[in-house]
Amino acid sequence: MHVLVGAAAAVSLAASSLWEHPGLWAIAGAIVFVAFYVRAVIGFGSGLISVALLTLFFPIKEVVPVVLLLDLLGSVLLGAYDFREIHWPELGWLVPGSLLGLLVGAFILADSDAQDLTRFLGVFILAYVAYATLLKPERLPRLSLPWGVPLGTFGGIIGSLYGGGGPPIVAYLQMRHLDKRAFRATFQGIALTDNIVRGLMYFFLALLTGPLALGFLALAPASLLGLWAGNHLHLRINQKLFLRATLVVLAIVGIKYLV
């Protein structure tokens, strides 16, 4: 592994580079498969897993735009598959908050060191996980719809800074007590908004290039296979197991932000 990581320093996620390094292409494909398997099972987490592992082998400035395109693909496909399950009232509050948060996050990123916010996010996530675990997720208090604005804003800020604002939105949707299909479907709606806005930002900042778009196409089959396999498990697990799986992934995210 150490040799692969060292050799990968000069390897790009552009398709031409992947074709020249089939071993790394296979590793990247395996990472993407696992990430999108998790995404299909619980509705989120693909960005965190993909970025955390792909950056061991490829430059982060290339990983983030490619993962954005993969996440966009996942959001569109899962959103279309679960379209009838989307809870539009939640999105009516989450989307405006998320758009505001993406804007605020861009200013924070430009004008300050976001490390303190990273730690705060880690503490917030772990505190929520501990609270939900002690209370049991199915017994969490029910939030009113307007809570979608501040939690959507928080999620947008995090999305702008770190490429994924899932945790605050996951907490909101859990406390709206949506069933697993509605949770996954509604999350795709807010994720799609985030993906489109960030995609436009990356395009205008020249972070999203033609060669990286081809790299996305090279990894897209792995994400499709992960979504297909994960969806089979999603349809079979019960609601209680689904809720606990989301808390496990949130705990991993919280620890990552603290570390």
| Interval 195-234: pLDDT, tens | 888 788 778 877 778 888 898 999 999 999 999 999 988 8
Query: What pLDDT sits at residue 70?
Result: 93
CB atoms within 10 A of CB 231: 20
Residue 73 has pLDDT above 90, yes or no: yes
Percent of the chain with pLDDT over 90: 13
Residue 251 has pLDDT above 60, yes or no: yes
* Cβ-based neighbours of 118, under 8 Å, separated by 6 or more: 161, 162, 257
Between CA 71 and CA 47 the distance in angstroms is 7
Query: What pLDDT sits at residue 127?
Result: 83
Token digits of residue 82: 């679960």
Return the minimum-mean-pLDDT range out of 1-5, 49-53, 254-258: 1-5
Query: What pLDDT sits at residue 6?
Result: 46
Return the minimum-mean-pLDDT range out of 112-116, 192-196, 245-249: 112-116
229 vs 137, higher pLDDT: 229
Query: What pLDDT sits at residue 110?
Result: 57
187 vs 256, higher pLDDT: 187
Query: What pLDDT sits at residue 3?
Result: 44
Q: Which of 78, 94, 82, 91 is nearest to 39 (CA)?
A: 78
Q: What is the pLDDT of residues 141-189, one digit of tens each?
A: 888 899 989 888 888 877 766 656 677 888 888 888 888 888 888 888 8
Sign of CA dihedral 117, 207, 45, 10: negative
Q: How far is Cα of residue 191 from the mean position of the Cα atoms in its chain?
A: 8
User: In sequence order, what DSSP letters do the residues of the chain get, joined into one string?
Assistant: -HHHHHHGGG--SSHHHHHH-HHHHHHHHHHHHHHHHHHHHHS--HHHHHHHHHTTTS-HHHHHHHHHHHHHHHHHHHHHHTGGG--HHHHHHHHHHHHHHHHHHHHHHHHS-THHHHHHHHHHHHHHHHHHHHH-GGGPPPPPGGGHHHHHHHHHHHHHHHS--HHHHHHHHHTTT--HHHHHHHHHHHHHHHHHHHHHHHHHTT-S-HHHHHHHHHHHHHHHHHHHHHHHHHTTS-HHHHHHHHHHHHHHHHHHHH-
Query: What pLDDT sits at residue 102?
Result: 79
Query: What pLDDT sits at residue 109?
Result: 59
Q: Which of 75, 135, 155, 128 is nearest to 249 (CA)?
A: 128
Name the average pLDDT for the chain.
81
Between CA 63 and CA 95 the distance in angstroms is 26
User: Which pTM value belongs to this model?
Assistant: 0.79
Query: What pLDDT sits at residue 126?
Result: 85
When pLDDT is averaged across residues 247-254 and rounded to a whole number, the result is 80
